Structure 1
Amino acid sequence: MRVEIWSDIACPWCYIGKARFEKGLAAFAHRDEVEVVHRSFELDPNRAKGETGPVVPMLAKKYGRTIEEAQAMEEHVASNARSDGLDYRTEGRDHGNTFDIHRLLHLAKARGRQSELLDLAYRANFAQERSVFDPEVLVDLAVEAGLDADEARAVLADEDAYAGEVRADEREAAELGATGVPFFVLDRRYGVSGGQPAQLFTQALEQAWQGRILTPIGADAAACDADGACEVPQPGAHA
């Protein structure tokens, strides 16, 4: 069975959702027969390459909040991440165009190191003092994931390298009706949106294994939409 996951490295619920999915997969009896493929989805494709800015002021502007309120939003997302065993820093992060990261992830996929690079990029973006919008940081992450440094630099230097693969993923997401991420498609039978609880992923895997048709499953869960907005549930709300 194949599970395809559309995500963006800039989306905190993709970071959290990946961890929850992996917990759900670990509880699935046929987990060794599941192929996981990560696909590209840009939350802010119109942002100029090289244009970066701090996350908290961006959140304040997007949601019409004060800086203090935006910081509280980050703290709440961090609480969700930490409850799943993930480190999450709420200050000093930046955001920007993620197209190059997606291109490099397609190189990693071709070399059988996609999940490794994705994990490293998530940790760099959400847990460490490393900007994933710096090409040299991306090369370092690629090497840590097991890729060749020169090959990674060559891909980043060639704007056409793996660009078609990224665009194809995004077109397919649109055809499947995905308006936000994370978005999970299980064997083209079930669609699961958002950072759902781990047990729901296990349930979805079991139902997809039984060969039923593609249909949404589960209540709405926190996600980042195609305009780049990331839902932040209020304290006490389902996440």
Structure 2
Amino acid sequence: MRVEIWSDIACPWCYIGKARFEKGLAAFDHRDEIEVVHRSFELDPQLAKGDTGPVIDMITRKYRRTVDEARAMEEHVASTARAEGLPYRTEGRDTGNTFDIHRLLHLARARGRHDELLDLAYRANFGDERSVFDLEVLAELAVEAGLDADEARAVLADDDAYADEVRADEREAAELGASAVPFFVIDRRYGVSGGQPAEVFTQALEQAWQGRAIVPLGADADAAACGPDGACEVPQPGAHS
């Protein structure tokens, strides 16, 4: 059975959702028979390449919040991430266009190193003081993931390399009705939206394995997710977090 996960490196709930999904998968009896495929989704595809800026500034602009409110929102997400055992820094982190990251991830998939690069990119973006919007940093991460340095740099230097693959993933997301990420598609029959708790993923996998309905594809479940233009929902008290 295949699970496809649409996500973006800039999305904190994708970072958290990946960890929760992996915990849910670990508790699933047939976990060794599950193929996991990560697919591309840009939160803000209209953002120009090289147009980067502090996350706090983005939050104040998109949510019309004060700097203090934006920092409180980041602290909330950080505490949720840390509860999952994930490093998360709230200061000095940038956001920007992620198309180059997705292109490089497709190279990594072609070379059998996708999971390694994805984990490194998430950690660099959310846990370390390394900007994934810097092409030199991306090249370094590619080498750390086991990719050839010259090949990775060549892909990053060629805007067309793996561009079609990224756009194909994004078209599929639109066709499936995914308007926010993370978005999980199980066996091309069922969908789960948002960074749900681990036990929800375990239950979803069990139900899909047994052929029972979960959430129709395209449905927007009540869970933390990031939507168009980079906006990321912060759950209210009582919601999944």
TM bin (shorter chain): over 0.9
Q: Give the gaps of 5 or more residues in structure 2.
A: none
Q: Which amino acid aligns with 1:231?
A: E
Aligned residue type for 1:199: E
Q: CA deviation at 1:124?
A: 0.2
Which residue matches 1:175?
175
Contact 2:44 2:228 (8 Å CA) reproduced: yes
Summarize deviations over 1:185-232 as a string: whole Å, max 9, x none: 011121000000000000011111123457338941000002210001
Task: Note the residue ranges of structure 1 that are not aligned, 5 or more in a row.
Answer: none
Residues 46 and 202 of structure 1: is their aligned pair in 2 closer, same or farther, counting only changes over 3 Å?
same
Letter aligned with residue 103 of structure 1: R
- The equivalent of 1:230 in structure 2 is 232
Scaled by the length of structure 1, what TM-score is found?
A: 0.97
- CA distance in 2 between partners of 1:236 and 1:213 (Å): 25
Change (3 A) 1:172 1:70: same
The answer to whether the 8 A contact 1:76-1:235 is kept is no
User: In angstroms, what is the RMSD of aligned CA positions?
Assistant: 1.4
Question: Take 1:236 and 1:220, find their aligned partners in 2: how far apart are those partners?
Answer: 11
Q: 1:162 to 1:218 in 2, by over 3 A?
A: closer
What number of residue pairs does the alignment pair up? 239
Q: Which moved more, 1:205-214 or 1:2-11?
A: 205-214
Matches of 2:140 and 2:158, distance apart in 1: 18
**What is the percentage of aligned positions where both structures have the same residue?**
82
Q: 2:81 aligns to what?
A: 81
Mapped contact 1:191–1:214 kept (Cα < 8 A): yes
Q: Distance in 1 between matches of 2:238 and 2:215?
A: 28
**Equivalent residue, structure 1, for 2:48:** 48
Matched residue, 1:68: 68
Aligned-partner Cα distance in 1 for 2:213–2:162: 31
Structure 1 residue 61: Cα displacement: 1.2
Cα 1:168–1:191 change in 2 (3 A) is same
Alignment of 1:59-138 (within 5 A): 59-138=59-138
Q: TM-score with structure 2 length normalisation?
A: 0.96
Amino acid at match of 2:231: A
Where 1:181 maps in the other structure, the secondary structure is coil
